[in-house]
Chain A
Amino acid sequence: MKVVACYNIKGGVGKTATAVNLAFVAAREGARVLVVDLDPQGAATFYFRVKPKVKGGGKGLVSGKRDLDDLIKATDHDRLDLVPADFSFRNLDLMLDAEKKSKKRLAKLLKPLAADYDYVVLDCPPSVSLVSEAVFHAADALVVPLIPTTLSLRTYQQLGRFRDEEKLAGLRLMPFFSMVDRRKTMHREIVDSFPDAHAEALPVSVPYSSIVERMGTERAPLASFAPKSPAAAAYQMLWAEISRRLG
């Protein structure tokens, strides 16, 4: 079982769309996939039409009183399940802090699912917090959506430094550009020059497209209602590269 976290310190960069669409592509290709919605806003949960409620709330989950398996809901898509978000996840940091070995807590919770899933996709809240650190310890790879702007690149550098400080050398960073508008000079320049300094960059960009926003009205992954859209094709290629790197 490989754990892929969709993460960025910054919000509004397309983390949830990435998590939902990559998970859907992986499941459609035959893998058994679990999405864990760690963001209290519950956008991934909303996309899958599941109620944003977890029995026992975040506390029950973090304390280990409830097995993660008991919280799983099947989505409408074959081989694709979800641990929904709960509003109490806004306090996940505090709940984790109250536990021993808090950074390793998430990895421990996921471990019993290894036989049931090929991939776990974590949809993470923005920010650097104890939740993020727990995610870093649990994940094999961080898929980092970046908007091609200077600020976005700065947060990526911060993330790299944080990984080094935490001595998480095994954690692979996989940045890629999302919401790319190639009509904008700055977007073109950043997208073209970024890989020169970052060999780890994924060679696929997801274009800015209103069709991605339609996920909110369709409440479904992109490829299920617009399979031929350029954005759906980009997520497909993105997953091909990520799964290849994960081996």
Chain B
Amino acid sequence: MPSPTSEQRLSAAAAEARERPAVVTPLAAIADSVRGTLAADPEEVSSRRLRLLDTLDRRLTLRGYRLEVEPVADGSHEHWRLVSGNGRVRATADVPVPTPRLVDDLPDGRLYRALESLVGIRGLIPTPWITLVEHRAALRDADRKIRCRLSALSASSDGTGDRCSAVRVDALKGYEADGDRIAERIFRHYGWSPAAPDPVAMLAHSLRPKPSGTAYPSATDPQAPAGAALRPVLQALLDTVEHRAAGVIADIDCEELHELRVAVRRSRSILTLLRSGSPEPELDRTRAFLGWLGKVSGPTRDLDVHILDWRAHRRRAADRAVDLEPLGRYLEAERDKAHAKLVDAFRSRRFQDGVRRWRRALDAGDQAWSTTDRERLPIGKLAGRRIRKLYGRVVEEGSAITAASPAEALHALRKTVKKLRYVLEIVRDAYPSKPTTAVLATLKELQQDLGEVQDTAVQAEALRRFGVKMGRTGAAGPATLMAIGALAEDLEIRRAVARARFDAVFVPVAKRRFGDRLRRLTRSKAGDGK
């Protein structure tokens, strides 16, 4: 049986903690009953208030980190502490209030550098305030040397009233036998397990449940009829759309919109895979709905990307940061306008009806999803066929690209690669894991390069447009316009670098060996795609 993940352990511990009494036996009483020949120090009590910051998708927690925030007495600052899984403090900083939501807005320093690699562009969301009360006692030998430490911890949430407790034994290095003996006695007499997770982590787990919906669901059984196999995938994607739409409205994290758009594109890709020759009014309506979602969410996403790029550039070119501020303000204002329109769209009847109708169609049962030939084909076979066809197109379009090819040719190839990757990812779990992962990684590298070529060109063009507009309205002076020009130039350089790299990332995809691997994969017993 596979060992439980830390996620499962936390869930189980949180469930167990809910069953326990909120108040534990006084630590002094526990110490007295388990100390044996050791002597117990008088109990010490301390308490502190903290809250935890993490991204919506709990990146820090999942990577074993905890970002603690404690108020500083005068209220002007908060003390941030990044703690790793073994309890070691990785970095700290005093951050002025109001504290930033994005790591990018933290002052440069150890904490910024540590968080930047862990969190990236995701927003940091606080839990409610937590009060942690700790009772401690040390057990000493005849020389008054500490042999082990006991602590009773109780973490309670201000807002929700949730509470998690634990009694812990800290065995000291070189004195593990004492620690083990005491832990065993505590478990026997009081039922507190020495392996119980930290109460703050347990509480944070229940305060911040795992986000619903995923942008990357996959069919698992290659032999299952395509309609029935893809229906739950589409349901998971619709969950993602619904939940991320709520996140977009709350405007906490720009990645919410990105994940929503990915879920929309994947759904469209599946519907293309299932498309039959005959009229399908319900699916056609959904295709139109998803197309509309992609269209209305585009401007906000584009501006999010501009802002992210502006932020990155501002940090890179610190000497021009002041000149770039007006551009940042302009982008933020434009983004706010686009976001307001998007919120209107997500609150509109069209969105509500579209989701409801699509949900109804997906909940209709497998029978309703086995009416066409394609829906009845094994998913491995249907997807395999499409993957091989798309791969053929990738090789054909990519091989035709020369140094003189227009940007449109690379853009067309990018779209084809994206389609290929999406179909492969839809059935990723139905194919053997190792070769599928390797194929996807190679495709991703090509897609990223093509994306960089296209996106940097579009962004540079948009920047020039913004510059003209800002110049006309007086929102930008000469220094800002020059800084915008430099930023556009920077993007052009990145585009040229990505363009020059194209051959290097396309050749591995076009190789016969790669094609053979893909064919073997999609025709394998698991793929069953004859």
Contacts and interface: CB of A to CB of B under 8 A. Distances in A.
Contacts of B144: 49, 219
A74 B175 contact: yes
Interface string B169-190: 0001111000000000000000
Q: What is the size category of the interface that chain A forms with chain B?
A: 10 to 19
Nearest to A32: B88
A81 interface: yes
Contacts of A71: 174
B172 A74 contact: yes
A74 B143 contact: no
Nearest to B145: A49
Contacts of A51: 143
A110 interface: no
Nearest to A70: B174
Chain A interface main SS type: loop
B174 A49 contact: no
B438 interface: no
B173 A72 contact: yes
B393 to A, nearest CB: 50
Contacts of B118: none
Q: What is the size category of the interface that chain B forms with chain A?
A: 10 to 19
Contact of B173 (A49, A76, A81, A219): A81
Contacts of A74: 172-175
B317 interface: no
A109 interface: no
Contacts of A76: 138, 145-146
B409 interface: no
Contact of A73 (B89, B138, B143, B173): B173
A50 B142 CA distance: 11
B145 A50 contact: yes
A81 B144 CA distance: 17
Contacts of A60: none
A56 interface: no
A97 B409 CA distance: 75
Nearest to A76: B146
B175 to A, nearest CB: 7
A170 interface: no
Interface string A62-82: 000000000111101000010
Nearest to A50: B145
Contacts, number: 25
B146 A73 contact: no
A195 interface: no
A30 interface: yes
A30 B138 CA distance: 21
A235 B78 CA distance: 31
B173 A30 contact: no
A50 B144 CA distance: 10
A76 B145 CA distance: 7
Interface string B139-174: 000011110000000000000000000000000111
B89 A30 contact: yes
Contacts of B174: 71-74, 81
Nearest to B176: A74
Which of A30, A49, A73, A74 has most chain B Cβ within 10 Å? A74
B176 to A, nearest CB: 10
A76 to B, nearest CB: 4
B66 to A, nearest CB: 17
A78 B239 CA distance: 47
Contacts of A72: 173-174
Interface in A216-233: 219
A219 B146 CA distance: 12
Interface in A148-203: none
Nearest to B92: A30
Contacts of A48: 145
Which of B138, B144, B173 has most chain A Cβ within 10 Å? B173
B86 to A, nearest CB: 11
Which of B143, B145, B174, B175 has most chain A Cβ within 10 Å? B174
A72 B173 CA distance: 7
A73 to B, nearest CB: 3
Contacts of B138: 76
A240 to B, nearest CB: 18
17 contacts: A30-B89, A48-B145, A49-B143, A49-B144, A49-B145, A51-B143, A72-B173, A72-B174, A73-B172, A73-B175, A74-B174, A74-B175, A76-B138, A76-B146, A81-B173, A219-B143, A219-B144
Interface of A: 30, 48-51, 71-74, 76, 81, 219
Given A73-B175, A76-B146, 10 more contacts: A30-B89, A49-B143, A49-B144, A51-B143, A73-B172, A74-B173, A74-B175, A76-B145, A219-B143, A219-B144
4 closest residue pairs by CB, A with B: A73-B174, A74-B172, A49-B145, A74-B173
